[in-house]
Amino acid sequence: METRQIGRPVTRNEDPRLLTGRALFVDDVELPGLLHAAFLRSPHARARILSIDTAAAKARAGVVAVITAEDLGDYWQPGPLLVPPPPIKGMTFRQRCQVPLAKGEVRHVGEPVVMVVAESRYVAEDAVGDIEVEYEALPPVIALEAALSPESPRVHADLPDNIAAEVRQTKGDYAAARAKAAHIIRRRFTYDRGASNPMETRGIVADWDHKAEKLTVWDTTQAPVFIRNGLAAMLGLSERQVRVVAPFIGGGFGPKMMMFYPEEVLVPWIALRLDRPVKWIEDRLEHFCATTQERSQIHEAELALDGAGKILGVRDAFLMDTGAYNPYGLTVPLNSQCTLLNCYDVPAYDSTFRAIYTNRTLVTPYRGAGRQHGIFVMERLLDAAARELGLDRAEIRRRNLIPASAFPYHNEVIYQDFAPLTYDSGNYAPILDKALDAIGHAGFAAEKAAARAEGRHLGLGIVCYVEGTGIGPYEGARVRVQASGKVTMATGVGTQGQGHFTAFAQVVAEQLGVDVRDVEVTTGDTDVFDWGAGTFASRGAVVTGSAAHGAAVEVRAKILRTAAEHFECAEADLVVEGGAVSLAGVPEKRITLGALAGLANPMRGAVKPGTVPGLEATSYFGPQMGATAAGAHAMVIEVDPRTMQIRVLRYVVVHDCGTVLNPLILAGQVQGGVAQGIGNAFFEQLAWTEDGQLLNASLADYLLPTALDVPRMDVLHTETPSPLNPLGTKGAGEGGAIPVGALYAQAIEDALDLPARGIEIAEIPLSPSRLWEICNPSA
């Protein structure tokens, strides 16, 4: 390797297009004769559909089609189960997947009932208003614990109750651990829903070219290859006949990984039927009820410790709201169950969860994907334990960290990737120390006292977390040197702002000795590359990055082989740098990669048997299991005890995701994750009524953090490479968001000295008004 590209803070290749408004997003696709779809959605959380009258809508000028479930015929099918449940003994799993248009019964507010297609979006929405649907409202299932009552209505009448899944996983013998414990800490925790709210809502454009017999679909999906394969199967087309393009996507965060949304099933179908291109762009109100959400869980947890504060075991039982349908299987609750163990040596664990159907929007992974719940429970239990034992918060954590000598560390429970959860590598104590040092932990008691003397309430928070990242199944990459000397790299994953056009280019450039700007990356176009799974679980850099590395290594070998033949020399004598190959010490013996690519594409006469043309290679990477990243967040806040407004004075992140590919991009991922974590902890709460109506479905009412709310952060790193991939890297996409709820709870308790008043914070999200209620229980 002549030039190090990995680890450099390279500015991004994709930025010039994005900064000048030239990048293509789905809603930018304009086609001749384009029609527009709009959806009539259920206003009820649960109701029987008695009748649908579409006559007035059909009669409106400019309306081309009005489609109900009946009109779909055999095309009406429940969506596929995306992630089947892993093989866990004794589990219950009852699959009910979303349907394209509601038939007979609606199961959540926002469920699509009728699709209208018209000459303009304005007319399509007018026509939605023309449709008359007669509903018989039914009592909905909203609250989790009430959903378990035998008297509760059922979300799916054909199931015996509202339980979608029940899973118990254990490690060691918790009962024995409990029996010898010096301290038992028992608490109840709740963690409520949030919405991802990427700035670009979902959208889809479908275009059937009847001459080429080819369907092109532009989709805001995180998984274009799956969508292509699924649409081909559903529509009875060959995979060659369907091209799915995930162009620039305006933020994903997980919910754009969900498949198939009803609109994804319906828009391509109607475009084929009408033989005209059709566009649908979700509006923000629809986003609040029709795009998947995440998070309601209620935990009853117990921590057993010895007299020195060493964890003997944990028991946890939790309920999880999975919404009206469950296409994503057990991914979110399994993440919660597994991640609860955090970075600590826990000899005994007994955890049971029940996923519950409710008449609310579907739950699928959203940044953190349930991991933050597990971390919240464990970190809160440790805070309570520290108080009971009279230990410093940092000290009780330090005593329980998995020692560096214990890796790989086996947790013995099955993770979302179906593999027993094993931490591949880690060195946790330096992370904690670095965070404590950077936040000023040693001097904080004096700082707090001095501030209190002035009537100011300062609090410090310090929490640890792990993040299971970089899971399978696999991704691929194809790398080719063009005759121009520029290099192309293609992969099947989509990109939603993670800097793939740059990070993957760095991985390739490192091997091929070219400028990062000369590597042109294509992501998310199934006509260019159509194997792979998608962008989720913080896996792009790990899995696709490793595939890109593998392909680039192969191309480099071809370069050396071809150049050695050309110069009639040994490969070891060659130097690959500056976009050319030269003979070491003989600079005039030099050939550009472009010219070499020409030699590797032999014309007549000179082709040897077995020749594979081109400086090109395709490589796939499928990790045996996920790579576990870790970190600690620390902050100092000031709370105004009258208004309960919080000001973050300092915020420190120490993150270990193994080898860093691009520190600029990594810092951005971490900072953005923290911002979403802050939203989740203190700004964002979906307010539902008892009858399942969402009261704050606008950005004016559901508060996303602004530039005034997110503090400046110091992002520091330690690097413990992963042994599971050739780059030694681990994922970093979600870590920033995971520990923030636990951090806020702890720092607020500290600032207001709540435990001394017998008050603990056991819920997320908080807000100034909720915090006031918690602090004034008798008011």
Partner 1 sequence: MTRPLQVTIRINGSDYTREVEPRLLLSDFIRHEAGLTGTHVGCEHGVCGACTIRLDGAPVRSCLVFAVQAQGHDVRTVESLGEPGSLSVLQQAFRDAHGLQCGYCTPGILMTVSAFLEENADPSEEAVRHALSGNLCRCTGYQGIVDAVLLAARRMRGA
Minimum CB separation from partner 1 for residue 668, in Å? 5
Cis peptide before 609 (omega within 30 of 0): no
CA distance 645 to 456: 12
Q: Does 483 bind partner 1 (CB under 8 A)?
A: no
For partner 1, give the closer residue by CB, 46 or 202.
202
CA distance 292 to 289: 8
Q: Does 405 bind partner 1 (CB under 8 A)?
A: no
State phi, psi for 530 to the nearest 5 degrees. Answer: -130, 35
The pattern of x and - marking residues 441 through 480 that bind partner 1 according to CB under 8 A reads: ----------------------------------------
Please state whether 335 falls in left (phi above 0), alpha (psi between -120 and 50) or beta: alpha
Q: Which tokens sit at 226?
A: 């799956």
Q: By CB under 8 A, what part of segment 323-352 binds partner 1?
A: none
Among 150, 307, 712, 778, binds partner 1 (CB under 8 A): 712
Segment interacting with partner 1, rule: CB under 8 A, options 141-149, 250-258, 564-572, 601-609 = 250-258
Which of 538, 471, 539, 482 lies closest to 508 in space, CA to CA? 482
Which of 416, 532, 413, 400 lies closest to 477 in space, CA to CA? 532
| Amino acid letter, residue 551 | A
For partner 1, give the closer residue by CB, 41 or 393.
41
Q: By CB under 8 A, what part of segment 91-130 binds partner 1?
A: 122-123, 126
CA distance 516 to 503: 9
For partner 1, give the closer residue by CB, 41 or 448.
41
CA distance 248 to 219: 10
CA 93, 98, 103 angle in degrees (round to 5)?
120
Query: CA 171 → CA 64, 349, 407, 466, distances in Å?
Result: 59, 5, 17, 18
Q: What are the beta bridge partners of residue 279? A: 36, 205
The pattern of x and - marking residues 161 through 200 that bind partner 1 according to CB under 8 A reads: -----------------------------------xxxxx
For partner 1, give the closer residue by CB, 534 or 673.
673
Q: Does 668 bind partner 1 (CB under 8 A)?
A: yes
For partner 1, give the closer residue by CB, 159 or 699.
699
The pattern of x and - marking residues 646 through 665 that bind partner 1 according to CB under 8 A reads: ------------------xx
Q: Does 221 bind partner 1 (CB under 8 A)?
A: no
Among 674, 694, 743, 764, binds partner 1 (CB under 8 A): 674
Segment interacting with partner 1, rule: CB under 8 A, options 40-48, 72-80, 668-676, 680-688 = 668-676
Segment interacting with partner 1, rule: CB under 8 A, options 303-311, 584-592, 702-710, 771-779 = 702-710
For partner 1, give the closer residue by CB, 495 or 511.
495
For partner 1, give the closer residue by CB, 248 or 280.
248
Among 254, 513, 672, 728, binds partner 1 (CB under 8 A): 672
The pattern of x and - marking residues 2 through 41 that bind partner 1 according to CB under 8 A reads: ---------xx-xxxxxxxxxxxx-xx-x-----------
Minimum CB separation from partner 1 for residue 416, in Å? 24
- The dihedral built from the CA positions of residue 741, 743, 747 and 749, taken in this order, carries a sign that is positive
Coil, helix or strand for 38?
strand
Minimum CB separation from partner 1 for residue 19, in Å? 4
CA distance 335 to 370: 5
For partner 1, give the closer residue by CB, 564 or 704.
704
Which of 226, 218, 729, 253 lies closest to 536 in space, CA to CA? 253
CA distance 464 to 398: 10
| Sheet order of strands, 214-219 included | 63-67, 112-118, 35-41, 278-281, 203-209, 214-219, 242-245
Minimum CB separation from partner 1 for residue 732, in Å? 13
Minimum CB separation from partner 1 for residue 708, in Å? 5
CA distance 651 to 647: 11
Minimum CB separation from partner 1 for residue 255, in Å? 12
Binding residues for partner 1, how many (CB under 8 A)?
59
CA distance 205 to 190: 40
Residue partners of 227: CB distance under 8 A and separation at least 6:
217, 219, 221, 244, 259, 260, 264
Segment interacting with partner 1, rule: CB under 8 A, options 109-117, 582-590, 634-642, 704-712 = 704-712
Q: Does 698 bind partner 1 (CB under 8 A)?
A: yes
Q: Does 248 bind partner 1 (CB under 8 A)?
A: yes
CA distance 161 to 159: 5
Q: DSSP letters along 55-69, please?
A: HHHHHSTTEEEEE-G
Among 528, 575, 649, 704, binds partner 1 (CB under 8 A): 704
Greatest extent of the chain over all pairs of C-alpha atoms, in Å: 92
Segment interacting with partner 1, rule: CB under 8 A, options 41-49, 375-383, 571-579, 674-682 = 674-682
Minimum CB separation from partner 1 for residue 385, in Å? 32
Q: Does 433 bind partner 1 (CB under 8 A)?
A: no
Minimum CB separation from partner 1 for residue 487, in Å? 19
Minimum CB separation from partner 1 for residue 438, in Å? 16
Q: By CB under 8 A, what part of segment 46-85 binds partner 1?
A: none
Minimum CB separation from partner 1 for residue 127, in Å? 11
- The bridge status of strand 35-41 relative to strand 278-281 is parallel
Q: Does 515 bind partner 1 (CB under 8 A)?
A: no
Among 157, 572, 606, 707, binds partner 1 (CB under 8 A): 707
Among 469, 526, 676, 718, binds partner 1 (CB under 8 A): 676
Query: CA 635 → CA 437, 460, 743, distances in Å?
Result: 12, 6, 8
Q: By CB under 8 A, what part of segment 717-776 binds partner 1?
A: 736
Q: DSSP letters along 393-422, please?
A: HHHHHHHHBPPGGG-SEEEEEE-TTSSEEE
The pattern of x and - marking residues 269 through 298 that bind partner 1 according to CB under 8 A reads: --------------xx--------------
Q: What is the DSSP letter of 711?
A: P
For partner 1, give the closer residue by CB, 171 or 367.
367
Q: Which tokens sit at 544?
A: 């696709």
Cis peptide before 408 (omega within 30 of 0): yes
Among 151, 307, 568, 706, binds partner 1 (CB under 8 A): 706
Q: Does 708 bind partner 1 (CB under 8 A)?
A: yes
For partner 1, give the closer residue by CB, 234 or 670.
670
Segment interacting with partner 1, rule: CB under 8 A, options 84-92, 397-405, 497-505, 640-648 = 497-505
Q: What are the beta bridge partners of residue 344? A: 401
Neighbour-count burial for 691-714, b at 16+ CB within 10 Å, e otherwise: ebbbebbeeeebeebeeebbbebe
Coil, helix or strand for 569?
coil
What is the contact surface with partner 1 in residues (CB under 8 A)?
11-12, 14-25, 27-28, 30, 122-123, 126, 196-201, 248-251, 253, 283-284, 496-499, 664-665, 667-669, 671-676, 698-700, 704, 706-708, 710, 712-713, 736
